[in-house]
Amino acid sequence: MPSTDTLKEADRLMTICNACRYCEGFCAVFPAMERRRLFSLGDLTFLANLCHGCNGCYHTCQYAPPHEFDVNVPKIFAALRVETYAQYAWPGFLARAFHRNGLFVSLAVALALALLLVLTFTLQDASVLFGEHSGTGAFYAVIPYDAMVWPFGLVFGFAIFAMIAGGVRYWRDTAGRSGAKLSLRAVLGGVRDVLTLKNLGGGGGGCTYPDENFSYARRNFHHFTFYGFMLCFAATSLATIYHHGFGWIAPYSFTSAPVILGTLGGIGLLIGPAGLLWLKAKAEPAPLARDLLGMDVALLVLLFAIALTGLALLVLRETSAMGTLLSVHLGFVMALFATLPYGKMVHGVYRFLALVQDAAEDKPLR
Ligand code: SF4
Ligand code: SF4
């Protein structure tokens, strides 16, 4: 349950904004707010997760600090989002991972790396680990296929289940209580908004991030990150089909579809997270929530490390560095999978559901 102070402050700000309405053209939050007269817990949770943290309403607000009204919508919504992530975490006792999340993700990375390195270095013969391998099954000479696929498949499967469980409970408390009807049109609307990041366009001309000047930089770097991740996911899925459907065993040639998709995805995951970290370093601190900042940085650094080690593995796969690089890369991937439901990645679930709810609401005044 979000803290009473956070909810009270979010309620106070929405009441002021609903009287002012100056920002109604900036994003989906303000039109959704205008469909309400009172703000329940579910309403505030929905609005907080609909907010993309573009800071547009902070930089233009005549009541922002130092005004006595102290209106800072991005900051209070960011704080409420962190509390949403903890509230709907499954299983519940892991909700604590969202507090000091940077530390939690760092520990998960250290543990996964140590585990992979200790296991490969103790179980594998040095001549194999540091030998040069090429041709069919080269990776599996270092780490056997079953030892690679089963632990990763189980951890990934658990992560997806945990995220779906959180999403279902979130939906019940937000859209379920507001009476929004789920429909194909609403889902397609949500998908379109995710794919285009329409709400990071501000009212046109981009959003005021990292400073008060309008820019598309955040939207573009987020696109690199999102599509880079999806390309890497497509590459892995295609490689699985190659392996099980056709019996074609990795590593694949540089001109094969999985390698081309993975290379493009890896480049996207270098550019996107690096760009977003650069923007964060320059961003004005006043509209930022401290807990969310640590969470953002932890995920971006992890994605960057996965891309860097993945591309290095591609380039050096026929050298004696392959065994060590493979272990390190898989360690980072394992840390990502294990922290998927307990880190910033969950914003994708709740943001998508908020966008679907926004499209689903039939816009009655309540
Ligand atoms: S953020 Fe400020 S300017 Fe925008 S609607 Fe709220 S009170 Fe008005
Ligand atoms: S920070 Fe941006 S997305 Fe969030 S409410 Fe303000 S204008 Fe909308």
Please tell me the distance between residue 75's alpha carbon and the centre of ligand 1 in angstroms: 13
Q: In this structure, which ligand is nearest to the CA of 51?
A: 2
Q: Give, in order, the Cα–Cα distances in Å from 182 to each of 160, 162, 355.
A: 21, 22, 12
| 219 pocket-lining for ligand 2 (C-beta < 6 Å) | no
Residue 325 has pLDDT above 60, yes or no: yes
Separation between Cα atoms, residue 315 and residue 254, nearest integer Å: 10
The predicted-structure confidence for 105-115, as pLDDT tens digits, reads as follows: 888 888 888 88
pTM: 0.92
Q: Higher pLDDT residue, 366 or 218?
A: 218
Residue closest via CA to ligand 1's atom 3 equals: 61
- Work out which ligand 2 atom sits closest to the CA atom of 54: 2
The predicted-structure confidence for 339-362, as pLDDT tens digits, reads as follows: 999 999 999 999 999 999 999 996
Going by pLDDT thresholds of 50, 70 and 90, the confidence category of residue 2 is low
Q: In this structure, which ligand is nearest to the CA of 20?
A: 1
Please tell me the distance between residue 194's alpha carbon and the centre of ligand 2 in angstroms: 16
Tell me the average pLDDT across 30-34.
Answer: 96
The predicted-structure confidence for 183-193, as pLDDT tens digits, reads as follows: 999 999 999 99
Tell me the average pLDDT across 21-49.
Answer: 95
Q: What is the pLDDT of residue 98?
A: 84
Q: What is the pLDDT of residue 203?
A: 67
Residue closest via CA to ligand 2's atom 2 equals: 54
The set of protein residues with a Cβ atom below 6 angstroms from ligand 1 is 16-17, 20-23, 57, 60-63, 71, 73
Please tell me the distance between residue 51's alpha carbon and the centre of ligand 2 in angstroms: 5
Q: What is the pLDDT of residue 366?
A: 44
Going by pLDDT thresholds of 50, 70 and 90, the confidence category of residue 290 is confident
* Residues in the chain, total: 366
Residue closest via CA to ligand 1's atom 4 equals: 23
Buried b (16+ CB within 10 A) or exposed e, 292-310: bbbbbbbbbbbbbbbbbbb
Separation between Cα atoms, residue 366 and residue 152, nearest integer Å: 47
What's the sign of the alpha-carbon dihedral 324, 326, 329, 334? negative
Residue 286 has pLDDT above 90, yes or no: no
Please tell me the distance between residue 57's alpha carbon and the centre of ligand 1 in angstroms: 6
The predicted-structure confidence for 326-336, as pLDDT tens digits, reads as follows: 999 999 999 99
Q: Higher pLDDT residue, 71 or 96?
A: 71
Residue closest via CA to ligand 1's atom 2 equals: 61
**The one-letter amino acid at 216:** Y
